[in-house]
Each structure stands twice: as structure tokens, then as C-alpha cells.
Amino acid sequence: MTPDVILGGFADILTPERLLVAFLGCFLGTFFGVLPGLGPVTAIAVLFPLTTYLDPVSGILMLAAVYYGGMYGGSTTAILLNIPGEVSSLPSALEGYPLTRRGRAGAALATAAVSSFVAGVVGTLGVMLLGPTLARFALAFGPPEQFGLILFSLTAIAGLVSGSLVKGLSMGVLGILLSLVGYDAISGVQVLTFGSWTLAQGFSVVPVMIGLFGIGEILKTLLRSEPDASIAKVGSLLPTREERRASVGPTVRGTFQGFFLGLIPGMLPSVTSFLNYSWERRRAERRGTSTFGRGAIEGIAGPEASNNGAAMGGFVPLLSLGIPTGPSMALILAALLVYGLVPGPMLFTQEADFTAGIIASFLVANVILLLLNLPLVGLWAKIARVPFSIMGPIVVVCCLAGALLERNSLFDVGVCAAFGFLALLLDKARLPVAPLVMGFVLGPALQQTMRQSFTMSPTFFVERPIFAVFALASLATVAWSIRRTVRSRRQTEARAAALS
């Protein structure tokens, strides 16, 4: 990707229409992020249908801006109200709320915003540098290599995200089966329709995702008791010299840790933020300067940079290989497919202008997010106090309307509602949703590449070294997950024996 193409991407993004789209995306994403129980995945799922009316660059720009805004909104209410808008904001609640009680809420919010901005900018440069290189590597991929990569992605997400490998793989298989419902793309035969012409049209990705992450999250939140929180005073947004000095190192470490971990399927921003929080806490304890648990600015800067870095890192395998690293990336992949764009090497060659515009939009969205949200922290805190008995039904209606508009089908409305209740049942049963989503999105590609691979050669698995590498990586992931489960069980048994 030449400098001229990149500059052309910025020229394409820096127009009033595109800047308005970025502004709306950041605003709406933050709005969803500050609502307890919701987050970027829910925001993307609910707003996904609206982006289909935009051109491809504007649509992906809006989804990316919604993604960043949702992540930032969760940290705002975590710091001010001790209400994490999403899982990755929990470290900010642990360290930010004590700072709020000491009158340093403004400094905590400014640190979170600046750390996220730095990680977003560095992550954008990383996408710009690594994306074309990985895309050139992908040119050597045939169906066997693609089959191996998809297989590794599914086993990685199942093993890393869920607490149980069996549960994770089971949910992944369920997602694959659901993706096969309808007409087979190769033979034209009905699959898993049980003779129903209604099911023959299959499950569209839009109502399924809106149901799982929109309806499902609203139902789960409505069943939980609402937190009682008072509006905190923000105070000065300027950190002290000591706070600035303490946050620089964690920001740099969190940015690079998060970005490179974000390249791995299953390493969601929530995972990387907790890993960074653990690393920074152990580092402070070894140095004998730990204030963690009492309001450590490092515990905000590091995790916030890490989760934004991981968010940006996830775009590299998505754009270069067509592999989503988590539910949010899976939704953005679905948006690319809806626009008729196939992620892979073609995005960096024949569609280089489009990709340059997308990369430029990442930087623009991060700048808008920084300039927009700091002055509005008081507003976001008040929105977080709106009772879910009021906000929940409004979001549900928006979800069902979005499902209807996708294909103008009442069947999709029923699918949306059904998958919402399925998400609630999975939550009650403590079964992970992420592997199901990955299986649903990657299922058709898995089936197609597997068929093509066996058609090329029945012994392709010993003839293609790249496939062998991915297969060994899949086995290593499974073995590591089993070892982790066994070790966790033994520790639980040891603690129970010690208590008895």
C-alpha cells in the first residue's frame, strides 16, 4: 500500500459526510457502552442494519466508531459509578472508582481517554504495516491452508474464551450446524430444514447476531437488579505530574501487549485487559510501590491501552485473512460480506483504495472519540442512571425493527427473538456464546474449504506443510486448554480440602 493510496484514503474520509458518520458512530457507541450490561458487541449488533444503507466505507467506518465508542463508554461509568459497562472495563472500576472517591475522577477519565487514544493510533499504524505483509503471506493459501486456519481459529476461541474446552467446542459445533440450515451452496440440497420451506431460507447473520447480543443482553440485564449509584463529580481533567509519569510506562506496555495479543483468535480485549492488569499489579508489587486496589493510575492506563490495542490488532487478521478474532470482529466481517467484499489479499491489491479509507477511518474515529467524550462525561454518567425498565424495551424494539429491515421478513423477527432467548438460556447454563458466534460465521467457509481440500487430494493433510502447522497449533491449543482445566480443578479441590 503506497503513500499515495494512504493519502487518498485520508482525503476520502476527511469529508463532512464521513466525519458526520464517524461522529454519530462514536456517540452511539459510547451511549450503548455506558449502559450497564451492554457494550460494543451489542451496539454493533443493534446498529448493524442501519449501516447497510450506507456505502461500504461509511458503513465500516460507523461500525468501527461504534466499536471504539462502546469500549470507551464502559470505562467512563466504571470510573465514575463503579459500574463497568462491559467486562474489559472491570480493571478501570477497581482502580478508577477509588480515585473518584478521592476527588480524582477527572484525572482517571483523562488517563483512560489518552491511553486509549495512544493505543488506537499505534494500532492503526500496526494495521497499516502488518496488514499488507500478512495479506501477501495469504496469497500462498489454498483451500487446505484456509481450512487449517479456520480450524485453528475455532479451537483457539473455544479453548481461550470458555472455561471448559468441552463447552467451548460444543458451542462451536452448534454454531456450525446452525450456519448450515437452508440450501447447501454446492449441491443445492436442503440441509437441516426437516422439510420446512420456512427454514429453507436459512438463518441470516443479522437477526442472529442482533438476537444473541441485542435481545439477549437486554433480557439478561433486565433480570439483574439495577445498581444504585449516585452521580459523581468529575473535577479537573488534568492529571498531576506524578500521575502522568506513572501512566506513561503502562500505556506503552499495554499498547504493544494488547496489539500483538489481539492478533490471536480468542484474545478478546476483555482477556488482554485482565492480563495487563495482572502484569502491572505484579510489577508494582515487585517494586514495592503498589497502590493497586486503592486507586492506582497504572491500573487504568495499562488495561485501557491494552483493550484498545487488542481491538485494533483484531483488524489485521480480519482484513488480511478474513478471520475474526471475536464476536465484534465477526459482526464486522458479516458487514463486509453484506457489502460484497471478501477479506483477504484482494483488499490490499484490487480494493486498496477501500482499505486505505478504512485504515484512515480508524485514526479519525480515535481522534473524534477523544475530542467528543471528555466534555460529555457528566452526560454519560446521567444516562447510566436511566432505569432499564425504560431503556430496555426501547432497545428491544430497535433490535426487532433492525431484524425486520434486513430482509423484510417476519421470519427474521422470530429468529431474532428466538436467539435472544437462546442467549439467555446459554447464560443461565454458563455456556459461552463466543464459540457459537465464531462457528456460525465461519461454518460455511469451514465446510467449503474442507470439501475442496479433500477433492484436491484425500491426503492433503500430509502434503501441505502450512495446513500441518495450523493443525499442530490446534492440537496444542486443545492440549493447553485441557491442562488449564485440570490444573484449575486440582486447585479448587485443594482449597476445598484445606477448608475442610
Instruction: Spell out the residues 6+ positions from residue 192 whose beta carbon is closer than 8 angstroms to its own.
Output: 177, 180, 181, 199
Q: Which residue has the cell 457489502?
A: 339
Residue 362 in this model has a pLDDT that exceeds 70: yes
- Judged by average pLDDT, the poorest of 58-72, 79-93, 96-110, 251-265 is 79-93
93 vs 420 pLDDT, higher one = 420
Q: Which residue has the cell 463466543?
A: 434
Q: Give 68's pLDDT tier (boundaries 50, 70, 90).
A: confident
Helix (H, G, I), strand (E, B) or coil at 191: strand
185-195 pLDDT, tens digit each: 666 677 777 77
Residue 358 lies in domain: 3-499
Full-model pTM: 0.65
Query: How many separate domains does the chain show?
Result: 1
How much of the chain, in percent, has pLDDT values that exceed 70? 83
pLDDT at 228: 46
What are the backbone angles phi and psi of residue 437, rounded to the nearest 5°?
-65, -45
Q: Give 438's pLDDT tier (boundaries 50, 70, 90).
A: confident
401-437 pLDDT, tens digit each: 767 766 777 888 888 888 888 988 888 888 877 778 7
Residue 261 in this model has a pLDDT that exceeds 60: yes
pLDDT at 38: 63
197-252 pLDDT, tens digit each: 777 778 877 688 778 767 887 787 777 655 444 455 666 667 788 888 888 888 99
Q: For the chain, give the mean pLDDT.
A: 77
Residue 20 in this model has a pLDDT that exceeds 80: yes
105-163 pLDDT, tens digit each: 778 888 888 888 888 888 888 888 877 777 666 666 677 877 887 787 777 766 655 55
Instruction: Spell out the residues 6+ positions from residue 35 whose beta carbon is closer than 8 angstroms to its own.
Output: 73, 85, 221, 383, 384, 386, 388, 391
Helix (H, G, I), strand (E, B) or coil at 190: strand
pLDDT at 229: 47
Residue 344 in this model has a pLDDT that exceeds 50: yes
Half-sphere exposure for 66 (CA within 13 Å, toward CB): 26
Helix (H, G, I), strand (E, B) or coil at 230: coil
170 vs 445 pLDDT, higher one = 170
Q: Give 359's pLDDT tier (boundaries 50, 70, 90).
A: confident
For range 328-335, the mean pLDDT: 78
Cβ(285)–Cβ(336) below 8 Å: no
Q: What is the DSSP letter of 347?
A: G
